[in-house]
Structure 1
């Protein structure tokens, strides 16, 4: 099983953290398993926009964004072209190392 490093950068100035993810794990799973506060009101099932993150590096190797995910990203605070839902960013066999920016967690989406 291939391991991938995920580096989390924080908009609120916290020091960045790098953690190892296994194939099949989502960015949300890795964040929560390592004590990183990342909102997930729907429980990580692509039912809200609260786990919204920015993929700064490695996004081309993630699963393609679905119409449902895109609809929820449109409801997120300050969406960008590199916006994704952390619950939908699942590490695959082809994944390279990821760099993820976690937006401030005091502004939640829907």
Structure 2
């Protein structure tokens, strides 16, 4: 199991969390399995940006993002160089520290987004 530190998020994880993820699973799957209910409007099919996270530590241990993910990330709120769609970022053995952005833009429904 790989340790994932989730930095505090006002709505989803106010105190932050330290969780364990199975190598080979995605960050999104791991968050959901640990009751951190990150939005995933496209049901983890790489068709929106609602599961966007910023990988604060361990970013280089993840496989590089594919072109489809990069194209979507360009539309994500609060994009940073170490941003990933959590539904596409597969956990390996290296511990991760992630931050869930304050806002999301829901590309799956017109005019979507939440604050």
Whether TM exceeds 0.5 here: the answer is: yes
**The residue matched to 1:7 in structure 2 has which SS?**
strand
* Structure with the bigger percentage of helix: 1
Name 1:104's counterpart in structure 2. Answer: 102
After TM superposition, the score normalised by the length of structure 2 is 0.84
Give unpaired runs (5+ residues) of structure 1. none
Give unpaired runs (5+ residues) of structure 2. 108-115
Q: Distance in 2 between matches of 1:54 and 1:28?
A: 12
Q: Distance in 2 between matches of 1:52 and 1:91?
A: 15
Structure 1 residue 90 corresponds to structure 2 residue 80: no
State the Cα distance separating 1:10 from its structure 2 match: 2.8
Q: Distance in 2 between matches of 1:32 and 1:11?
A: 15
Aligned length: 105
After TM superposition, the score normalised by the length of structure 1 is 0.88
Bigger relative CO (Cα 8 Å, ≥ 6 apart): 1
Q: Distance in 2 between matches of 1:37 and 1:103?
A: 13
RMSD: 1.4
